[in-house]
Structure 1
Amino acid sequence: MSMCDRRNLSMVMDLYELTMSNGYFLDSDPDDVATFDVFFRRIPDNGGYAIFAGLEQIVEYIEDMHFEDDDIEYLGSLGMFDPGFLEFLRGYRFKGSVSAFDEGTVIFPGEPVITVTAPLIDAQIVETAILAQFNHQSLIATKASRIVRAAKGRAVSDFGARRAHNMDAAVYGARAAYIGGVAGTATVLSGKMFGIPISGTMAHSWVMYHESEYESFAAYARIYPDDTVLLIDTYDVLKSGTPNAIRCAKEVLGPMGKRLKGVRLDSGDLAYLTKEVRKMLDAADMEDCRIIASNSLDEYSISSIIDQGGCIDAFGVGERLITSKSDPVFGGVYKISAIEKGGVTIPKIKVSEAVEKITNPGRKMVYRIYDSTGHATSDLITHEDEEVDLSGPYDVIDTHRPWRKVDLSGHTARPLLKPIIVNGTRVSPQRSLTEIRDYVRMQLRDEIWEEEQRFENPHIHHMDMSVSYYEDKMELLSRCQSNR
Structure 2
Amino acid sequence: MTAEPHSNPLSPERHHGPRLDPQALGLVTDLYQLTMMAGYRARGVHQRPAIFEVFIRRLPPGRGAMIFAGLEPLLQDLVNLRFSAEQIEWLKSLAIFQNATIPSAFWEELAVLRFTGDVWAMREGEVAFANEPLMRVQAPLSEAQWIESYVLASLSYPTLVATKAARMVQAAKGRPVIDFGLRRGHGPHAGLLAARVGWIAGFAGTSHVEAARLWNIPAFGTMAHAWIQSYGEERETDAFAEFAALFPHAPTVLVDTFETLEGIRKAARIHPPVAAIRLDSGDLPNLARRARAILDDHQRSSTRIFASGDLDEYKIDALTRAEVPIDAFGVGTEFITGGDIPKLSIVYKLVELDGRPVIKRAEGKRTHPFGKQVWRSQDCVGIFRGDYVTHRDESAEGEPLLIPAIAGGRLVEPRPNLETIRAYCADRWANIPAELRDLQHPGTYPVSYSERLERASRAMGL
Counterpart residue identity of residue 361, structure 1: P
Which of 476, 479, 484 pairs up with 2:460? 476
Say if 2:59 is the partner of 1:43: yes
Instruction: Give the SS at the match of 2:296.
Output: helix
Which deviations, in whole Å up to 9, do the C-alpha atoms of 1:402-434 show, x marking residues without a partner?
xxxxxxxxxxx0000011111111114221111
SS in 1 for 2:406: strand
Is 1:331 the counterpart of 2:345 in the alignment?
yes
Kindly state the Cα deviation for residue 88 of structure 1 after the two structures are TM-superposed: 0.8
Quickly say closer, same or farther: Cα 1:4–1:274, change in 2 above 3 A. Answer: farther
Question: Residue in 2 aligned with 1:128?
Answer: 149
Structure 2 Cα separation of the partners of residues 121 and 61 of structure 1: 17
Task: Map 1:266-285 onto structure 2 (within 5 A).
Answer: 266-285=280-299
Report the equivalent of 1:316: 330
What does residue 160 of structure 2 align with? 139
| CA–CA distance in structure 2, aligned partners of residues 182 and 441 of structure 1 | 11
Q: Deviations over 1:50-98 (max 9, x none)?
A: 0000001211211110100110111011143443211111111111111
Gaps of 5+ in 1: 254-258, 391-412, 479-484
- Counterpart residue type for residue 262 of structure 1: A
What are the equivalent positions in structure 2 for 1:419-438 lying under 5 Å apart? Answer: 419-438=404-423
Scaled by the length of structure 2, the TM-score of the pair is 0.92
Residue in 1 that maps onto 2:135? 114
Within a 5 Å distance, the mapping from 1:437-452 to structure 2 comes to 437-445=422-430, 447-452=431-436
Q: Which amino acid aligns with 1:309?
A: E
Name segments (4+ residues, structure 1) moved above 6 Å: 1-5
Q: In 2, are the aligned partners of 1:369 and 1:378 still within 8 Å (CA)? A: yes
Distance 1:298 1:276 in 2: 22
SS in 1 for 2:457: helix
Match of 2:69 in 1: 53
SS at match of 1:11: coil
Aligned 1:312-461 pairs, distance under 5 A: 312-340=326-354, 345-354=355-364, 357-388=365-396, 390=397, 413-445=398-430, 447-461=431-445
1:105 maps onto 2:126 in alignment: yes
Paired amino acid for 1:451:
E
CA deviations on 1:86-136 (whole Å, 9 max, x unpaired) are 111111111111110000000000111011110011000000110001101
Match among 438, 455, 464 for residue 448 of structure 2: 464
Asked if structure 1 preserves the Cα contact closer than 8 Å seen for 2:276 and 2:306, the reply is yes
Q: Choose which of 232, 237, 252 in structure 1 pairs with 2:255.
A: 232
Q: What is the one-letter code of the residue matched to 1:159? A: F
Asked whether the equivalents of residues 305 and 326 of structure 2 are also in contact (C-alpha less than 8 Å), the reply is yes
Tell me, which stretches of 5 or more residues in structure 2 are unaligned?
A: 1-14
Once structures 1 and 2 are overlaid, which stretch shifts more, 189-198 or 100-109? 189-198
Q: What is the SS of the residue equivalent to 1:44? A: coil
How much identity, in percent, do the aligned residues show? 38
Contact 2:369/2:453 (8 A) holds in 1: no
Output the CA distance in 2 between the equivalents of 1:111 and 1:322: 26
SS in 2 for 1:22: helix
How many residues end up aligned between the 2 structures?
439
> Residues 350 and 386 of structure 1: is their aligned pair in 2 closer, same or farther, counting only changes over 3 Å?
same
CA distance in 2, matches of 1:166, 1:30: 36
The equivalent of 2:93 in structure 1 is 77
Given candidates 264, 274, 297, the residue that maps to 1:242 is 264
Give the conservation status (yes or no) of the 8 Å contact 2:360–2:366: yes
Please give the root-mean-square deviation of Cα atoms over the aligned residues, in Å: 1.6
SS in 2 for 1:64: coil
Amino acid at match of 1:285: Q
Alpha-carbon distance between aligned partners in 2 of 1:351 and 1:133, rounded to the nearest angstrom:
27
Cα deviation, 1:257-300, whole Å, max 9, x if unaligned, reads xx421000111111110000001111111111110000000011
